[in-house]
Structure 1
Amino acid sequence: MWRPKLCFYQRLSVSLVLGFLVILSVFVLASSRLQDSMKDESEQMLHLDLASHLVSDNPLLKTGVYDYDALGNLFHTLMILGPNFEFYFLDTQGNIKTYSAKKGEVIKKSIDLAPILSLLEPNPTLPVRGDDPKSENKHKIFSAAPVYNGELLQGYLYVIIGGARYDSIVENLKRSEGVQTFAMIIVAATLFLLFALLLLFRFFTAPLKILSDDMDTFRASGFDLDGSGVKLRPWRNESRNEVQRLGFSFNDMLNHIDEQMKKLKQTDNERRILLADLSHDLRTPLANLQGYIETLSLKGSSINEDERQRFMDICEKNLFNLKRLIDQIFELAYLEGGHVTLKKESFMLAELLHDVAAKFTMNAQNKGITLNVNAAAQNGYVHADIGKLERVLTNLIENAIRHTPENGHIDINVVEADKYLTIEVKDSGVGISERELNHIFKARYQASNSKEDSAIHAGLGLAICQKLMALLDSKLEVSSELGKGTSFRFSLTQITP
């Protein structure tokens, strides 16, 4: 992946310098042109009537031009008195008839009359620039006036304002020591301003560089906060500085990612342990099945009918345990993967409790256990998934029967409180120690005082129940005391049928 060679501050600095130089160049150019335009406008306005005064005051021009040599001498004399001006006499076609310059300096033979006619109009827009006879493409401000012989237009007096000598003097002044010193001061001030701006940019971008370096370090460490060496800096969320708020958000993100990574590692470790334990649990019924089926296959007819039936019963029991274990594994996998859909409907809670309890009445009686349903809210309705709720109740009652000794009792209670119905499955069994209560909802965890029976228990039931209750927007809670029994509770929102 291509990455820029310059850091953000360097790119910002280069952009600033280039932008500053471009703006400065445009400003200097525009300022120079504006200054020249204002100077030309003011000078042309000041000398606008110069040509007309010369025409009206000079006898050679006032009565018409007949002697071009005499007029040339006059122009030369005028130029000596006013070296800022150059004088030209043009005929009606714009051809130059005589002038004040030295021979060889004038390279043009004619002048475009359009600017002259524009200047002679009432209220002309200044500055108006005309052709410079000493240059092929230069244009200069001028003063002009028509020259008449009676009523006949004989030509035009064309006076260049700021002639070649004036331009030469201006150029020399620009190269003078004072002007150069002033230019150096301007350049030094500009460079100082640029340097100050670069330092200011450095100050503003320093926190962003620190934040970027921390991000790179954190990413290079594999998003491990403890192993990255990233120090959580005291960024301020309430600051008006966007970088401070960004840094504060980055700290939150670091903590959140670190917490998620730890949870993922813990979950991965638990999955490995769970997979190893489940593999062992699956291997036991499979080994039993294999052994008895091989025995039936090898001995064949030598086995009597009673023994054959006993072998078949054992195989059937192992198949039942195997299927139950696989079903629980798949159910837990679907719940953790978020692939379970709910089919909610409204129903009377008491009826479901009595139906589920009825399935375990015979089993409870065989163990000498009393199973009671105490529903204070007989007509209470809830909106939930009946199948998922029945699955939870079935697991809780099965566990209660398994851990309750003979002559014990199991109570299924429903308590109405505000808009909720709280369901409790309470037994008088062996109970669970306080230090183990926080672990019983973990997959494969079995309390140290669990009762063993002929069935295989993978320790997934309560983990499945907890996830099912989360899908039903509730939470399965437990309280217990060793030797006195255990109570599981959850609450559902009561609705009006």
Structure 2
Amino acid sequence: MMQFLRDAFFRRLALLLLCSFVIVGALFLLLMRYVVSAHQNEVAQNLHRDLARHLVDQHALFIDGQPDKEGLYHLFHNLMVLGPNFEFYLLDPQGEVLAYSADPTQIKRRHIDIGPIRTFLGSPTEIQRTIYGADPRDRERRKIFSAAPVNRDGQLKGYMYVIIGGEVFDNVAQGVWQNQILRWVVVVFLGGLILSLMASLWVFGLLTRPLRQLTGDMQRFRAVGLQRELSPTPWDANANDVVHRLGSAFNALTASLRAQYLRIKTVDEMRRELLAHISHDLRTPLSSLRGYLETWLIKREELNPDDSRHYVETAYRNSKKVHRLVEQLFELACLESADVPMHFEEIVLAELIQDVLQKFALKARQHCVRMDVTPQDSTIVVHGDIEKLERVFSNLVENALRHCGRGDEIIVQLQPRGKEVLVSVKDSGCGIPADDLPHIFEAHYRAANSVPDNSGQGGLGLAITKRLLALHQVDISVCSRENHGTAFEFQLRCS
């Protein structure tokens, strides 16, 4: 509870609840007092409804057409001794006070509005709503009453007007209200109000505990950031509680942000490593290119045509390696961007592979390597970007050709499987060591038994291949045994 109240928001909430309880309690007390008083008035008026009529029937209030003031004085005095709850007034037909039982100094008004009296007399004799009339002791106060007409010889002489709950009653009632019992009632009520407030705060603390836990998770995440993984509160994403769903969404968001951060961090580290390797690979052919060109410029007058041609051809080969490496770097950078354009169309797969194999046919014959595609079925049609798929097969075939020797073979095998076709590019070359297989598609990675060449590959071919197939939403796998060949496999969607 104390931890709950230390938070400024919940302190304000507790203060708001306290004020609400106090206001509601005060309104309840006032309403209770009003309802009790109204109930008592209604009961009292209906209980003493015929009091005035009995007085009129049993006593002669007028003598020779005039009010018997001395007789009325003794009558009213005796009645007030017997019933101090009542005050008695004799009114003329217009409402003027003719006689009364009160102290003359306490009478504040001599005229009584007879409208409520007529309403009272005109209402049915059974239980009715409370009717209030003017109190002669006060210019504004209104009280319940009993009234009866005074008739003599068929003429209305006036009204007997009895105030129920007179001044004596008010004084006694006020004293009872302020006595010890009622004070204890108020104390007990306020104690119950305080206990209710504390119980409400405790229940509210339980209900808002998930919200405080979520706030704590957010504060810890803000303090730690993405540098270190946190142990978040386990939230139920399928719960009906909105806080649980919000907490689950927050956990998913932080996990996604951390995964993206780690991925970006890994890519950044890989790019730095790649740049280090690329700078090394560029430095060698550039140094060779520059050295041969400088030598040729210095000694061109002394060199015979064959030596001069040798220097220029060597510089040219190195320039081609630099050009090829730079092209691959640009290609890989473009493929890693988020807006690579794709142009999908229907492709006869066997024909595309035949065109790729034909491109490397001369080099294959020079190395005595057999190449083929099986089956040569023109009905196998896939849906893809022909330019990018041609680049995929070129990279795979060129990579296989580079690691094959005399008498080896490269076979591209097509196996239709329902709505997809499994493509396998197999060679019987030197294979890949098992330790290198998990890293074979990393940019600029070279296997331990990688065959060096002068093509300027830079170790980017397989990384480019994987990215090109990823644009087709296709994954590529590799299976290899050292000295037993290698097989690259992926599936393309048929048209």
CA distance 1:315–1:31, shift in 2 (3 Å)? farther
Q: Aligned partners of 2:74, 2:321: CA distance in 1, in Å?
A: 133
Partner residue in 1 for 2:476: 476
Partner residue in 2 for 1:88: 89
Partner residue in 2 for 1:108: 109
* Partner residue of 1:184 out of 172, 180, 187: 187
Contact kept, 8 Å, 2:62 with 2:68, in 1: the verdict is: no
Amino acid at match of 2:58: D
Q: Aligned partners of 1:369, 1:456: CA distance in 2, in Å?
A: 22
**Structure 2 residue 390 is the aligned partner of structure 1 residue 390:** yes
Post-superposition offset of 1:233: 5.4
Q: Aligned partners of 1:25, 1:325: CA distance in 2, in Å?
A: 86
Q: Aligned partners of 1:64, 1:321: CA distance in 2, in Å?
A: 142
Contact kept, 8 Å, 1:225 with 1:254, in 2: the verdict is: no
Partner residue in 2 for 1:450: 450
Contact kept, 8 Å, 1:321 with 1:456, in 2: the verdict is: yes
**CA deviation digits over 1:108-165, x for unaligned, max 9?**
2333333333323334951122222222332211222333344444433322111111
SS of the residue 2:360 aligns to: helix
Partner residue in 1 for 2:216: 213
SS of the residue 1:489 aligns to: strand
Contact kept, 8 Å, 2:213 with 2:233, in 1: the verdict is: no
Post-superposition offset of 1:476: 0.8
Q: Aligned partners of 1:64, 1:318: CA distance in 2, in Å?
A: 146
Partner residue in 1 for 2:410: 410
Contact kept, 8 Å, 2:324 with 2:457, in 1: the verdict is: no
Amino acid at match of 1:105: Q
Partner residue in 1 for 2:378: 378
| Structural mapping, 1:20-419, within 5 Å | 20-60=21-61, 65-68=66-69, 70-123=71-124, 126-226=129-229, 230-231=230-231, 257-287=257-287, 313-314=313-314, 316-375=316-375, 377-419=377-419
Amino acid at match of 2:334: Y
CA distance 1:356–1:74, shift in 2 (3 Å)? same
SS of the residue 1:337 aligns to: coil
Amino acid at match of 2:92: D
Contact kept, 8 Å, 2:321 with 2:454, in 1: the verdict is: no
Post-superposition offset of 1:448: 1.6
Q: Aligned partners of 1:131, 1:479: CA distance in 2, in Å?
A: 109
TM-score normalised by structure 2 residue count = 0.87
CA distance 1:257–1:153, shift in 2 (3 Å)? same
CA distance 1:366–1:34, shift in 2 (3 Å)? same
Q: Aligned partners of 1:470, 1:63: CA distance in 2, in Å?
A: 123
CA distance 1:168–1:359, shift in 2 (3 Å)? same
Q: Aligned partners of 1:304, 1:137: CA distance in 2, in Å?
A: 136
Q: Aligned partners of 1:216, 1:314: CA distance in 2, in Å?
A: 63
CA distance 1:347–1:263, shift in 2 (3 Å)? closer
Partner residue in 2 for 1:17: 18
CA distance 1:45–1:304, shift in 2 (3 Å)? farther
Amino acid at match of 2:266: Q
CA distance 1:449–1:144, shift in 2 (3 Å)? same
Post-superposition offset of 1:97: 3.2
Q: Aligned partners of 1:271, 1:57: CA distance in 2, in Å?
A: 118
Partner residue in 2 for 1:492: 492
Q: Aligned partners of 2:92, 2:298: CA distance in 1, in Å?
A: 139
Q: Aligned partners of 2:302, 2:109: CA distance in 1, in Å?
A: 138
CA distance 1:306–1:153, shift in 2 (3 Å)? farther
**CA deviation digits over 1:409-463, x for unaligned, max 9?**
2111111223321111111222101111110111121112111112222222211
Post-superposition offset of 1:235: 6.0
**CA deviation digits over 1:255-314, x for unaligned, max 9?**
555444433332222222123323333444555555566667777888777666655545
CA distance 1:211–1:64, shift in 2 (3 Å)? farther
SS of the residue 2:67 aligns to: coil
Post-superposition offset of 1:189: 2.6
Contact kept, 8 Å, 1:466 with 1:475, in 2: the verdict is: yes
Q: Aligned partners of 1:416, 1:224: CA distance in 2, in Å?
A: 47
Q: Aligned partners of 1:425, 1:34: CA distance in 2, in Å?
A: 95
Amino acid at match of 1:349: L
Structure 2 residues without counterparts, runs of 5 or longer: none
- Count residues with an aligned counterpart: 489
Structure 1 residues without counterparts, runs of 5 or longer: none
CA distance 1:490–1:112, shift in 2 (3 Å)? same
Post-superposition offset of 1:72: 4.5
CA distance 1:70–1:318, shift in 2 (3 Å)? farther
Q: Which moved more, 1:437-446 or 1:248-257?
A: 248-257
TM-score normalised by structure 1 residue count = 0.87
Amino acid at match of 1:399: N
RMSD across aligned positions (CA): 3.2
Q: Aligned partners of 2:149, 2:406: CA distance in 1, in Å?
A: 137
Q: Which moved more, 1:208-217 or 1:41-50?
A: 208-217
